[in-house]
Structure 1
Amino acid sequence: MTDHAAIPSPQTSQTAAQKPEWSVDLTAGAPCLHASGVWTVQNGGMLTFPPDGLSKAHSGATLNIDTDQLERWDSAFITFLWDVKQAAGKAGVIFEPDHLPEAAQRLLALLPDKPAGNSNAKKPPAPFLERVGDRTLNALTETGTVTELALETTKGAAQTVTGKGGMRLKDLASDIWNAGPSALLIVGIVNFLVGAILAFVGLVELRRFAAEIYVANLVGIACAREISAIMTAIIMAGRTGGAYAARISTMLGNEEIDALQVFGIPVSSYILLPSILSLALMMPLLYIYGTLIAIFGGFVVAMGMMSVSAIGYWTTTFDGVALHEFVFGFIKSFFFASFIALAACRVGLKAGRSAADVGIAATRAVVIGIVGIIAMDAMFAVIANALDF
């Protein structure tokens, strides 16, 4: 079937009766591709069609495919046909698959018309206003999502109080232990050292003005109003917030979240509510504990550097630190905890499903938590100044 104008296929080591062969007949009015033999991967059917194999065909002609001598075939034949289709498109020849086996036609239809482009090619940057608009919309969407998550959590907490919630008390107790008693050591150590450092720096400066006794007021007010709340929140953002994000992203990768949704179990009440509620309950208590430890750290340093009695130091502290300072720090700690837990849970839910995404989610939750804490503290400072609190 092949004459002097045909393009021969490469020779193989298979027998002549079964080896896959192809040729192109260009003598007739329309080019014709002849395929014969067993086109399987095991039989050496991974043949290639040259990109210029149809360059001598007339542009606009229709390429017919003769498969009368074709025996068995698999994906190797489909790959070859796809190469033929690309060569036909390059030469301006119409690829006609009607004479192919029906199964081959269906498989060939699943392949793209053209090879995929270079995914690494740099795309031109979008206009500035478009980028600003996209980021603004994304920020607003994320704010709405987190707000909705907070509302669902609040609703779930109210339902739990009335006995209609889907939260398991066992999960709440476990999260309370991890967010509270398990964090006492690290919270105590950090706040003790911060109080000691603050007392040392304060004594060095106040000694120049013969006002060493006021170091008790300095340590007490600074720790009760600002430092202990911020340091405790930062510790919990790194310790508990990162753990929440890693745990939820791991469940997402293991398809546990998908399984809960399939069974109709609300993720907000089953997983998120115990985490958020436990941290919101424990953080204010940890703040009180951290404040007392920080004041005690300042007391230890002051006793080593000042010639004042312990009773005098504690009396000055109690007289100088008003109760509303603790109330202010207590309120801030509650909002810090709620923000840390909500942000960590949201980051975990939107993480990827690979092992690397678990670490990325944990890191992102810690960074967002710390930055958010500082921003919220600045807002609280402005509000307190406006209310003269």
Structure 2
Amino acid sequence: MATAQLTIDLAALAANWRALDALSAPSVETAAVVKADGYGLGAGQVARTLFDAGARRFFVAVAEEGATIREAVGPDAEICVFSGHMAGDADAIVAHRLIPMLNSIEQLTRHFETLPGHPFGVQLDTGMNRLGLEPVEWSAARQLVLQQNPVLVMSHLACADDASDPMNQRQLATFRDMTRGVDLPLSLAATGGILMGEDYHFNVTRPGIGLYGGLPFTDAQPVVRLTIPVIQVRDIAAGEIVGYGGSWLADAPTTVATLSGGYADGLIRAMGNEAVLFHGDVPCPLVGRVSMDLLTVDVSHLPEIPESLDILGPYQSVDDLADAAGTIGYEILTGLGPRYSRRYT
């Protein structure tokens, strides 16, 4: 097979949801964020697995993502849309029984006029300045909104990947102030917020990256393994270059394997000459630039020529690989390309 194989461990995914669920009180609902095609792993399979594990509320980014999730989980789950009620969304919201998380006065007006009586939630801006009603807007609209019985009032933490960042406490205080007297389900914590303890949990938590094996959930089980086949192996002499631009120069005779994967598959160009791949537990350095479809790897130290190497797996997480590329694990996961042969276990 010329394409790489992406193996997705659904049992590990379910175990991560259960572990994050166990970090909050039994009275706190643990939802699941499955946007961006289930963080690149296949929204239908991911949502179905998490539903079987116990999740009954799911979050997607846009209404168009809701159809896949509804088909996967059936009628007995809530599907919330972070982008709210955009122009043209009404048909999808009704057809798939979606719950838009309304973000602005404009969206409140659109929803109440277009779909009166249809369930909705509200997002509040507590300092991230991205989505949600700002405090002055919420103060003006609060009474009218609460009379319409939203199913959830939420906000989002900007710096939860660093528990010591004072921004977390400021946003917590703002959220408490903005929701004082609100007798409705409240939500502030995604993965990082869950790990910061019960002060951040409120009624609903929304784990995302932690489900898929990413930081800051250091106890997560690895969910993905990416195995890339070797196309060709060659011996090069000292003083020869490898790859575009001659960015790697052999200082000794070297055995180099060319693998079938590249930046067209989400293996970011910036990791050239920085990342490693693995043969079992033996690291093999990436040499030369990442090209569109190919990687070149030093396998001189291996006792045999490998048929394939792992770039993600038990010895290298999405965050390890992200460090080599100067990015974050989210980008590695969501960039995993369509050419991979996918196998669910």
The two structures have a TM-score, normalised by structure 2, of 0.21
Flag the structure with higher helix content.
Answer: 1
Structure with larger Rg: 1
